[in-house]
């Protein structure tokens, strides 16, 4: 047997919660890659947020050794991020593999993300090994799940592994199937180096480290490598494999998975999807499928305390070291002062970044309503890419507007079908198709505007279906649209941080809901405050906060002035945490309400 014949490169695809990470942990245990006592639940998910939510954001590959029929095989497990926001990263991880384990929860069957991910795997020509998980659950329906996989996905399941990742039941059958059924890599050992970057991370000692799959050739310390997209070259300082900790090796050869460090200062030089080759002997053509990571969702991020602007800047820089898909530029708001307009791969990505700013950097931040990128043309035929309501040209000059749309796929038990279809059409969704997966479940296909799902679409789908429906989406270009900029006036002054771009038909209800909600979160002032929702100078909704009547410390406790002073100082602190717009003090909740409108 040749060296490459004893290598298998594979990933695991699954719907969220179907047990992908648990299975990965068990595989590492079964191959003694990690001793059981060192096992932390879900070893591959290394960030706190990932562990809490049971999702994978950053990839961590693992190289395992497994004995099969008297031969030692090297199994490289490449984890894939578990969320639609990272579908490009998923596609690059899949491109690094020859096979994929498809995990389906026997108690839940095929779900939206199962389909989305398995289609990506099939597109990448991977050999699929089906695994039915959670067979120990009383509600497990093994035969039904197999039939579903065969009917809906079209993968034969007679040899599917039936396991419980939780209890460790039949885990070795999965390893056997990987060796037996998945093809080995077939790289050319003597060809020029051709390596795919499927992820990268920043290490304070080694610099930006590329996680790679070597397709052809080999690489060792001292080689001068060339990144074909950026055309930058560096001298390799370290190569190695993940065990799963990065462990240096002499070299990396065709068919192998590992990492390359070359004292690279910036992760943006190690772009996911780029091809690494040797500068002295380059390949003619890079690997297919490279794409620039583009931001889909945007929002403003501001420090709650204006003095913390520089700290926020430093924190974003640090996060960007590890996350080339995070984009940010400086922006200034009348209401919020100095901050940043940030671009994200999707809503989850946005949530992760804001949470990490708060948790890892202890920053208190205000985020403005998420926006998408609109394309707008004015009467001088100039094109604007509008990511922020403040960039919108005057309504009168606009001749054409377009907004991004997505192809949305929802799988739901049929009893929730009505509610979900109502929600989709309320969100301006256009119905395309409906298929029955089994007697009970339905798959819905819609196209809908991205800006209708950036608010609370996920939460709504989940609550409408008591958590049973699942969804996934992909970007599907732009379509012409009739949009308006909705402004909020507080005591007669525009609060730019509360402005929104909405579809014309949604402007009235949203304006009303915003005014009503703001009335409940803005404290009473010494004067009456009108709250108005305005479109192009026309008031479409109004609420009034009446003037405050009582704010007093009415008793002096036997000369305890200190207590009074402390109370006032506390009140003053509370006031400092608010943002003053003209004469109105806005608590930070005001900016959150805009995200959580029940319409």
Query: Quick one: residue 358, left, alpha or beta (phi over 0 = left, psi -120 to 50 = alpha)?
Result: alpha
Q: In the set 526, 537, 538, 598, which binds other proteins (CB under 8 A)?
A: 526
- Side by side, the strands of the sheet bearing 257-261 are 232-235, 224-227, 275-278, 194-203, 207-216, 257-261, 238-242, 246-249
2 or 544: CB nearest other proteins? 544
CB of 550 vs other proteins, minimal distance in Å: 4
Name every residue whose Cβ is closer than 8 Å to that of residue 37 and which is 6 or more positions away in sequence. Answer: none
222 near other proteins, judged by CB under 8 A? no
CB of 527 vs other proteins, minimal distance in Å: 6
Cross-strand bridge partners of residue 76? 9, 63
382 or 564: CB nearest other proteins? 564
Give 3-state DSSP helix, strand, coil % of the chain, rounded to 5: 30, 35, 35
CB 575 within 8 A of CB 585: yes
Which range of residues in 79-87, 425-433, 434-442, 519-527 is near other proteins by CB under 8 A? 519-527
Three-state DSSP class for residue 106: coil
Query: Where in 69-106 does DSSP place strands (E)?
Result: 71-78, 99-105
Give the integer Cα–Cα distance in Å for 376 and 397: 10
CB of 583 vs other proteins, minimal distance in Å: 7
Give the integer Cα–Cα distance in Å for 199 and 185: 20
CB of 506 vs other proteins, minimal distance in Å: 35
The count of other CB atoms within 10 Å of the CB of residue 518 is 23
192 or 523: CB nearest other proteins? 523
Size of the site for other proteins (CB under 8 A): 26
289 or 582: CB nearest other proteins? 582
Task: Identify residues 124-143 at the interface with other proteins (CB under 8 A).
Answer: none
463 or 546: CB nearest other proteins? 546
467 or 559: CB nearest other proteins? 559
CB of 552 vs other proteins, minimal distance in Å: 5
- Cα torsion angle, 363, 367, 370, 374, sign: negative
220 or 565: CB nearest other proteins? 565
With CA atoms as reference, report the closest residue to 519 among 592, 571, 590, 584. Answer: 590
Q: What binding mask, one character per residue, do residues 344-383 give for other proteins by CB under 8 A, x or -?
A: ----------------------------------------
SS3 assignment for 425-452 = HHCCCEEEEEEECCCCEEEEEEEEEHHH
Give the integer Cα–Cα distance in Å for 383 and 400: 9
399 or 571: CB nearest other proteins? 571
CB of 460 vs other proteins, minimal distance in Å: 32
Give the integer Cα–Cα distance in Å for 340 and 302: 6
CB of 371 vs other proteins, minimal distance in Å: 34
Q: In the set 71, 188, 583, 596, which binds other proteins (CB under 8 A)?
A: 583
With CA atoms as reference, report the closest residue to 293 among 96, 124, 88. Answer: 88
Give the integer Cα–Cα distance in Å for 425 and 414: 17
54 or 337: CB nearest other proteins? 337
Cis, peptide link before residue 244, omega less than 30° from 0: yes
CB of 588 vs other proteins, minimal distance in Å: 18
Long-range CB contacts for residues 361-364, cutoff 8 Å, separation at least 24: 361/311, 361/315, 361/318, 363/303, 363/304, 363/308, 363/311, 363/312, 363/315, 364/303, 364/304, 364/305, 364/308, 364/588
Which range of residues in 1-9, 305-313, 485-493, 523-531 is near other proteins by CB under 8 A? 523-531
- Cα torsion angle, 419, 424, 428, 433, sign: negative
409 or 543: CB nearest other proteins? 543
CB 490 within 8 A of CB 581: yes
With CA atoms as reference, report the closest residue to 157 among 98, 117, 109. Answer: 109
439 or 552: CB nearest other proteins? 552
CB of 547 vs other proteins, minimal distance in Å: 9
Query: Quick one: residue 203, left, alpha or beta (phi over 0 = left, psi -120 to 50 = alpha)?
Result: beta
65 or 565: CB nearest other proteins? 565
CB 357 within 8 A of CB 319: yes
Name every residue whose Cβ is closer than 8 Å to that of residue 132 and which is 6 or more positions away in sequence. Answer: 104, 106, 142, 145, 146, 157, 160, 161, 162, 163
CB of 585 vs other proteins, minimal distance in Å: 10
Task: Identify residues 541-580 at the interface with other proteins (CB under 8 A).
Answer: 548-562, 564-565, 568-569, 571-572, 575
- Cα torsion angle, 124, 86, 332, 501, sign: positive
480 or 560: CB nearest other proteins? 560
434 or 568: CB nearest other proteins? 568
CB of 557 vs other proteins, minimal distance in Å: 7
Tokens matching residue 102: 């498809």
400 or 563: CB nearest other proteins? 563
- Where along the sequence are the contacts to other proteins (CB under 8 A)? 525-527, 548-562, 564-565, 568-569, 571-572, 575, 583
């Amino acid at each position: 047997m040749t060296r490459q014949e004893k290598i298998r490169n594979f990933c695991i695809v699954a719907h969220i919660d179907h047990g992908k990470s648990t299975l990965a942990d068990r595989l590492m245990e079964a191959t003694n890659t990690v001793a059981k006592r060192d096992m932390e639940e879900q070893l591959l998910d290394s960030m706190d947020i990932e562990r809490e939510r049971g999702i994978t954001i950053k990839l961590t590959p693992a190289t395992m050794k497994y004995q099969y029929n008297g031969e030692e095989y090297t199994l490289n497990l490449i984890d894939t991020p578990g969320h639609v926001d990272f579908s490009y990263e998923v596609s690059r991880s899949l491109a690094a593999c020859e096979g994929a384990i498809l995990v389906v929860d026997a108690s839940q069957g095929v779900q939206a993300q199962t389909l989305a991910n398995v289609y990506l795997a099939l597109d990448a020509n991977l050999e699929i090994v089906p695994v039915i998980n959670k067979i120990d659950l009383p509600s497990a329906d093994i035969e039904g799940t197999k039939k579903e996989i065969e009917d809906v996905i079209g993968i034969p399941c007679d040899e599917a592994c039936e396991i419980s990742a939780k209890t460790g039941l039949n885990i070795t059958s999965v390893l056997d199937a990987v060796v037996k059924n998945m093809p080995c890599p077939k790289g050319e050992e003597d060809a020029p180096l051709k390596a795919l970057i499927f992820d990268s991370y920043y290490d304070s000692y080694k610099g930006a480290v590329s996680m790679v799959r070597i397709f052809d050739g080999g690489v060792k310390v001292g080689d001068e490598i060339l990144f074909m997209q950026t055309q930058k070259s560096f001298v390799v300082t370290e190569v190695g494999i993940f065990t799963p900790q990065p462990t240096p090796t002499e070299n990396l050869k065709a068919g192998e998975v590992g990492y390359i460090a070359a004292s690279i200062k910036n992760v943006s030089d190690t772009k996911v999807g780029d091809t690494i080759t040797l500068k002295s002997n380059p390949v003619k053509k890079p690997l297919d499928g490279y794409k620039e990571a583009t931001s889909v969702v945007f929002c403003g991020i501001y420090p709650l305390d204006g003095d913390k602007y520089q700290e926020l800047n430093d924190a974003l820089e640090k996060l960007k070291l590890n996350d080339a898909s995070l984009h940010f530029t400086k922006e200034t708001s009348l209401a919020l002062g100095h901050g940043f307009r940030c671009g994200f791969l999707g809503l989850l990505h946005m949530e992760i970044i804001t949470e990490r700013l708060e948790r890892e950097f202890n920053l208190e931040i205000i985020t403005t309503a998420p926006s998408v990128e609109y394309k707008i043309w004015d009467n001088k035929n100039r094109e604007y890419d509008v990511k922020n309501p403040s960039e919108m040209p005057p309504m009168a000059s606009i001749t054409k507007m377009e907004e991004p749309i997505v192809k949305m796929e929802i799988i739901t038990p049929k009893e929730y079908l009505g509610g979900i279809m109502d929600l989709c059409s309320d969100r301006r969704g256009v119905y395309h198709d409906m298929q029955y997966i089994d007697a009970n479940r339905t798959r819905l296909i819609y196209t809908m505007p991205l800006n209708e799902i950036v608010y609370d679409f996920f939460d709504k789908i989940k609550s409408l279906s008591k958590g049973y429906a699942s969804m996934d989406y992909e970007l599907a270009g732009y379509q012409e649209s009739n949009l308006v900029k909705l402004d909020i006036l507080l005591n007669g002054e525009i609060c730019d941080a509360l402005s929104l771009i909405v579809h014309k038909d949604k402007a009235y209800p949203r304006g009303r809901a915003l005014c009503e909600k703001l009335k409940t979160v803005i404290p009473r002032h010494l004067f009456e405050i009108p709250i108005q929702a305005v479109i192009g100078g026309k008031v479409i909704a109004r609420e009034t906060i009446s003037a405050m009547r009582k704010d007093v410390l009415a008793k002096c406790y036997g000369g305890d002035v200190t207590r009074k002073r402390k109370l006032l100082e506390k009140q003053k602190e509370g006031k400092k945490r608010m943002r003053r717009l003209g004469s109105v003090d806005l608590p930070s909740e005001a900016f959150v309400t805009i995200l959580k409108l029940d319409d």
